[in-house]
Chain A
Amino acid sequence: MKLRVYRFNPDTDQRPRLQDFEVTAIPGMMLREALIEIKKQDEGFTFRHSCGEGVCGSDGVNVNGRNKLACITPLAELKEPVVVRPLPGRPVIRDLVVDLSQFYEQYRQVKPYLVREDPLPEAEVRQSPAERDRLDGLYECILCACCSTACPSFWWNPDKFHGPAALLQAWRFLADSRDQATEARLDALEGPYKLFRCHTIMNCVEVCPKGLNPTRAIGKIKDLMLEKGV
């Protein structure tokens, strides 16, 4: 199977290029395994990966124009030549490795942690199964950055718009019955950019490898803002 991969090593290259590799595809093979095969052929080829089962979020890449996790993308589903590029819109460090510091900074901006003002009980803070169900589809995010780097609003304003991944986490804590920082969280999202640059293009929903829906979460934040504003 033919793969066409993005190559750029700042130590040696003036500009990026695409390089073709031939990999013997075996049944059930995932894209990550093909990338590992390429690295055997050329040890300079560089990409991030770790768990191999879609939970660590290391190996987000752009495959035939779409952001995916390499480890859970079957080769058999891909059209040849398989064009593999780094996640779009972020500075390339080397080959498929991009600089995600802005992405992580946006995550930090939404204060992604539970805030509890009341004295803590001796045992657990009670939460009903229905309240807990509201966190499904939110807490599973693996921070792979497939969504935010597929979002045109994030491409244009990565320093101002939080992007879908961070906003999904903003809603994850707003939706948590145990959290007691609703007002502060909503206040922090006000203004034309942080939240409201989302134009419901929904690329995030389309590419999320975990099947999560940041657009819906963003909509819920907006609803809550309206509700609190009344």
Chain B
Amino acid sequence: MPIPTRHFDALILGAGGAGLNAALRLAGADVRVAVVSKVFPTRSHTVAAQGGVNAALSNVLPDNWHWHMFDTVKGSDYLGDQDVIEYMCREAIPTVYELEHAGVPFSRLDNGRIYQRPFGGQSQNFGGEQAARTCAAADRTGHAILHTLYQQNLRARSHFFDEYFAVDLLRDDEGYVLGALVLEIETGEPLIIAAKTTLIATGGHGQVFRTTTNAFINTGDGMAMALRVGVPLMDMEFYQFHPTGVAGKGMLITEGARGEGGFLVNGEGERFMERYAPHALDLAGRDVVSRAIATEVREGRGCGDAGDHVLLKLDHLGRDVVARRLPGISDICRTFLGIDPAVEPIPILPTAHYAMGGIPTDRFARVVVPARHGPEEVVPGLYAAGECACVSVHGANRLGGNSLLDILVFGRAAGQDILRYLQDNPNHRTMTDAAVAPAMARLERWERSGEGESVHAIKAELRKLMEDHCGVFRTEAVMAEGVERLKALRGRVDSVRLADHSRTFNTARIEALELDNLVDVGMATLLAAHYRQESRGAHSRIDYPERNDQAWLRHSLYFRDGDRMDSKPVRTKPLTVDSFPPKERVY
């Protein structure tokens, strides 16, 4: 029986902030847009972002976009591309106002302006005093933004495919992406969505790590889909460990807790960040704070009976600040720890949080790959935005408050460029059986029955492996062993079998398809980490402790075909201002 096909101008995979902001541009311009999401849109992981979104509004302290740009370049350990960073920091200001106009319930200052709080790595005047750049809706900013964007999409009548799982992209012989094969979860029926343009906005892949702030759905689906149509992933070794996850459990405690005045102490009661970042203290870059915590614990200065965590103190802030500015994390502490953070300190540990790397894109969110004419040739009709993309604004380390900004700015940029593309390419290209066959094969592979290993067993092993071999501190020996073990694990996926082949809402099948994605993206992460022989940003190698700009001021690229690694230059030239040359990074 032929697979049913629906036709749209634009297909968006993922309904988080990036996908929804792109959809809003398109639906508002009368483009036929389909948004496919494996969960109801407001369940997307943008909902869990807490602290806020950066923009140099100067509502609390003096600020301008150029200082924001400097902080972002420095925060990236100079690996971020300066043209896109300039673009993002300029665009931040109108983007936040646009969100406010759309209805986001930002917290407010007495003069009625948007409340802004200090976050890590922010400075005034190119490295001077602390700035306050993070626009917040209490500590539920992601929730406020995601719901608002969904609401405005309802108003714009975007077409949603809720609870449809994207299996794979469809690509023709000439390299054009023709849409995607998706699976309606409720019925188990496949559907082809033919589209003139496709935006991948599927978010991150924190589920490759055992302890993570990420949701169950963050399985790197879009990144793996890109890999399978021959697109490389860029800078995958740079995975951010958030300094303050709840120890042993992984729930996120926003950097805003430190922005509001909270600080870290070790088992000796010492405010240890004074030793690691004398100036910025607890608001140094996330990589710096995470390494400091990991070092304290490794060197025996942890807290608790096992000495396996440190404490985040908020009890000096007063009940009012905690209740008013940090109500969400107060809930988390009460629910998961049985403590009130206004009274007791929170046990925390660095926790896998965010992918700086992803699908390589340019300023217009177009996917770019090395090809005949250079390292950055556009894949026609294919876009990526948000955590799954690597544009690259975060380089080797992302600043807090820049991820919501990234998804909004580049989600919108994608929407705008898709409009341009559709003007030049008004017709659907021909869908061929050959383009659909690989995607169908991937889907049908899980129909095999018989004895085999289980999805959850392989997944648990993968997550432990990544934690053990690709954590905060890395060495050649540990990673090489990890690569061998992961290759063996990948070989075993073929022998995994589903016991349940029923059609209706078969989440076991979805988890199996996600496992394929996790393995591919885990491999990209581990091989990229093994490849880069220097320490930069979130990538800390004990055997190569220094940053090496001579050899490694380059973006890494992982290709699935042959597990091949390559690299390309960093774009150090901004759009209009002078570039910030690499300097030693101190906070």
Contact = CB atoms under 8 A, between A and B. Distances in A.
Interface of A: 9-12, 28, 39-40, 43-44, 46-58, 72, 74, 93-94, 97, 100, 104, 108, 111-114, 116, 120, 122-129, 131-132, 135, 139-140, 142-143, 173, 176, 178-179
Nearest to B43: A56
A218 to B, nearest CB: 20
Given A50-B39, A94-B504, A132-B107, A126 B147 contact: no
B125 interface: no
B104 to A, nearest CB: 9
Given A43-B455, A114-B103, A116-B101, A54 B335 contact: yes
In the A-B complex, list the 9 residue pairs whose CB atoms are closest, starting with the nearest.
A114-B103, A126-B112, A113-B151, A44-B500, A11-B502, A43-B508, A56-B43, A94-B505, A51-B215
Contacts of B429: none
B103 A178 contact: yes
B503 A11 contact: yes
Contacts of A43: 454-456, 498-500, 508
B155 interface: yes
Nearest to B503: A11
Interface string B29-57: 00000000001101111011000000001
B502 A56 contact: no
Given A94-B504, A123-B97, A51 B47 contact: yes
Contact of B336 (A28, A94, A116, A140): A28
Contact of A46 (B102, B332, B507): B507
A132 B113 CA distance: 11
Contact of B140 (A11, A40, A140): A140
B506 interface: yes
Q: Which of A49, A56, A108, A129 has the most CB of B within 10 A?
A: A56
B215 A50 contact: yes
Number of contact residues on B: which range applies?
35 or more
B110 interface: yes
Contacts of B106: 124, 132
A142 B103 CA distance: 16
Nearest to B100: A124
A136 to B, nearest CB: 8
Main secondary structure of the interface of A (DSSP, over half): loop
B109 interface: yes
Contacts of B110: 128-129
13 contacts: A11-B503, A53-B48, A53-B252, A53-B332, A55-B140, A57-B42, A72-B335, A123-B97, A125-B101, A126-B113, A127-B108, A132-B106, A143-B42
A40 B108 CA distance: 46
B114 interface: yes
Interface of B: 39-40, 42-45, 47-48, 57, 96-97, 100-103, 105-114, 137, 140, 143-144, 147-148, 151-152, 154-155, 186, 215-217, 249, 251-252, 328, 331-332, 335-336, 454-456, 498-500, 502-508
B97 A113 contact: no
Contacts of B328: 55
B105 A44 contact: no
Contact of B103 (A28, A51, A176): A176
Nearest to B507: A46
A18 B278 CA distance: 60
Given A108-B154, A132-B105, A124 B114 contact: yes
B111 A126 contact: yes
Contact of A50 (B43, B137, B154, B498): B43
A81 B103 CA distance: 45
A112 B57 CA distance: 28
A55 B48 contact: yes
Contacts of A46: 505-507
A114 B100 CA distance: 10
Nearest to A95: B505
A122 B97 contact: yes
A105 B48 CA distance: 24
Contacts of B506: 46
